[in-house]
Amino acid sequence: MADQQHSYKLIYFNSRGRAEHIRYIFAFAGIDYVDERVPKERWPELKKCMPYGMLPVLEIDGKAIAQSNAVARYLARQHGLAGLDEWESMQCDVLVDTLGDLKQGISQYRHEEDPFKKEEKKAKLWKETIPFYLNKFEQNVAENGGYSVGTTTTWTDFLFAVALENFEQIFGSAALENYPALRGLKQRVHEIPAIAEWLGKRPQTEF
Amino acid sequence: MADQQHSYKLIYFNSRGRAEHIRYIFAFAGIDYVDERVPKERWPELKKCMPYGMLPVLEIDGKAIAQSNAVARYLARQHGLAGLDEWESMQCDVLVDTLGDLKQGISQYRHEEDPFKKEEKKAKLWKETIPFYLNKFEQNVAENGGYSVGTTTTWTDFLFAVALENFEQIFGSAALENYPALRGLKQRVHEIPAIAEWLGKRPQTEF
């Protein structure tokens, strides 16, 4: 474990979800932290104490910070995971928010209650939205030789690795068949020794 | 106009929307840029050429960059509008994404087609979601003596000023009655000479 000046407690549910890329950053940087996984029955009470009533929250030296990507960006900048310069940091941010747009679309489909609209949304996602974004991402990663930004590992790679894993889980393992560069990115991240070690020991959860 | 090494073209619709805080940054920093406002009828054709089929896009020396907040953060970091250190930059990011969550909720209400569900969403927004977030923001700005982060003007102040203006427009000018610190933040931003000058000359649009 690296020497560290700060204490960290990551508070989330017992799931990968919006916290897993933060856990990857901690693993990669060799940072010790408390990986607190809140049981569902404790959440209604705890929710009232969280800055905006949502998780994940990272406690840094006891101060509770909300918003997974704000937290991840902060940690990434401190540990060489935000690109080589401000231009690359911006490229990371562009991809993070664009992936966020795609995830938002998928989430709206998953939460749609009307069965007719749900089918409609699924068809549009599957035929238009997902291929549109994945083709863009694929081309970008292929051009960068396997990296989402530049020529170094960034927190955006971690976010993609986590998202692609979820994506295969929701839509089946063939879902990335036509996206060899994205599969390659995920594999490269999973083979980083510190990440591989984390994958081997992390709690197994559905999402 | 300040000396500048780069050329900028901001591409958006003829509206404040997701581009106005970027225009505030340009105004504040005295940066020259082309403020291209795409007529609706040109959009279907132009859409195909945009990085992810969406606006705003900022062309920096001819390179098209998507995602308004990624662009705004990049410009803000270069022009002293991202807080005094990385900790404050993170606070900016937390507020930007939290305000994004609230705007997402309002947008889902505005786009709801089912009149019954629309009323339901409006009631929940009005009674729960909006007061929850605005009270948090109000308390934060009051504690910081009128700033959203720290003790200096940040791009988050600009994002709030724009959002609060839209908010009063959607829900009426009394909507911020109970939030004096937020009204004060908006007024302070609007009175910054470079911003006041921009407000005086910008195209008048509905949103």
* Mean of pLDDT over chain B: 95
Q: What angle do CA A108, A111, A115 make, to 5 degrees?
A: 105
Cβ neighbour number for residue B70 with a 10 Å cutoff: 21
CATH of the domain at B99: 1.20.1050.10
Q: Measured between CB atoms, which of A52, A73, A98 is closest to B66?
A: A98
- SS3 for A24-35 is HHHHHHCCCCEE
Structure tokens at A127: 């035929």
Q: Could you read off the pLDDT of A18-64 as tens digits, one per residue? A: 999 999 999 999 999 999 999 999 999 999 999 999 999 999 999 99
Q: Average pLDDT, stretch B173-188?
A: 95
DSSP letter, residue B207: -
Helix axes of A20-29 and A193-201: crossing angle, nearest 10 degrees: 130
Q: Give A73's pLDDT tier (boundaries 50, 70, 90).
A: very high
Q: Average pLDDT, stretch A76-92?
A: 98
Query: In terms of domains, do B188 and B115 share one?
Result: yes
Pairing type for strands B8-13 and A57-60 reads unpaired
**Rounded to an integer, what distance in angstroms lies between the CA atom of residue B88 and that of residue B84?**
6
- Is B150 within the bounds of a domain? yes
- Is B207 within the bounds of a domain? no
**Rounded to an integer, what distance in angstroms lies between the CA atom of residue A143 and that of residue A160?**
16
DSSP letter, residue B49: T
B107 touches chain A (CB under 8 A): no
The strand ranges marked E within A20-149 are 34-38, 57-60, 63-66
Q: Which residues of chain B have a CB within 8 Å of the CB of A69?
A: 93, 97
Interface test with B, best of A67, A68, A101, A135 (most B CBs within 10 A): A67
Among residues B69, B71, B75, which one has the least CA distance to residue B99? Answer: B69
- Which of A98-112, B6-20, B128-142 has the lowest average pLDDT? A98-112
Which residues 6+ apart lie within 8 Å of B131 measured at CB? none
- Is B68 within the bounds of a domain? yes
For chain A, the domain total comes to 2
Q: Could you read off the pLDDT of B150-159 as tens digits, one per residue? A: 999 999 999 9
Q: Name the residue type at position A40.
A: K
**Rounded to an integer, what distance in angstroms lies between the CA atom of residue B118 and that of residue B20?**
28
Q: Could you read off the pLDDT of B59-106 as tens digits, one per residue? A: 999 999 999 999 999 999 999 999 999 999 999 999 999 999 999 988
pLDDT of residue A131: 95
- Is A70 within the bounds of a domain? yes
Query: In terms of domains, do A90 and A172 share one?
Result: yes
Query: In terms of domains, do B54 and B148 share one?
Result: no
pLDDT of residue A173: 86
Structure tokens at B124: 């929940």
* Mean of pLDDT over chain A: 95
Query: In terms of domains, do B52 and B106 share one?
Result: no
Q: What angle do CA B3, B186, B174 make, to 5 degrees?
A: 155
Q: Could you read off the pLDDT of A114-156 as tens digits, one per residue? A: 899 999 999 999 999 999 999 999 999 999 999 999 999 999 9
Query: In terms of domains, do A119 and A133 share one?
Result: yes
**Four-point Cα dihedral A99, A136, B5, B26, nearest 10:** -40
CATH of the domain at A40: 3.40.30.10
- Is A2 within the bounds of a domain? no
Q: Which residues of chain B have a CB within 8 Å of the CB of A71?
A: 90, 94
What is this model's ipTM? 0.96
B104 touches chain A (CB under 8 A): yes
Query: In terms of domains, do A95 and A169 share one?
Result: yes
Query: In terms of domains, do A106 and A170 share one?
Result: yes
Q: Give A2's pLDDT tier (boundaries 50, 70, 90).
A: low
Q: Name the residue type at position B104.
A: Q
- Structural domain of A95: 86-192
pLDDT of residue A1: 47
| Residue A55: exposure state from Cβ atoms within 10 A (0-12, 13-18, ≥19) | buried
pLDDT of residue B173: 86
Q: Measured between CB atoms, which of B78, B94, B104 is closest to A67?
A: B94
B71 touches chain A (CB under 8 A): yes
CA of B96 vs chain A CAs: smallest distance (Å): 9
- Is B206 within the bounds of a domain? no
Query: In terms of domains, do B75 and B163 share one?
Result: no
Q: Average pLDDT, stretch B195-203?
A: 98
Query: In terms of domains, do B90 and B163 share one?
Result: yes
Query: In terms of domains, do B126 and B176 share one?
Result: yes
pLDDT of residue A110: 86
Between B5 and A10, residue with greater pLDDT:
A10
B153 touches chain A (CB under 8 A): no
Q: Average pLDDT, stretch A176-183?
A: 96
Query: In terms of domains, do B122 and B165 share one?
Result: yes
- Is B1 within the bounds of a domain? no
- Is A164 within the bounds of a domain? yes
Query: In terms of domains, do B105 and B153 share one?
Result: yes
Whether B52 and A90 lie within 8 Å, measured CB to CB = no
Q: Which residues of chain B have a CB within 8 Å of the CB of A67?
A: 93-94, 97-98
Structure tokens at A42: 């404790």
Q: Give B186's pLDDT tier (boundaries 50, 70, 90).
A: very high
* CA count, 13 A, side-chain hemisphere, A39: 2
Q: Would you say residue A82 has pLDDT above 60?
A: yes
**Rounded to an integer, what distance in angstroms lies between the CA atom of residue A27 and that of residue B146?**
38
pLDDT of residue B2: 53
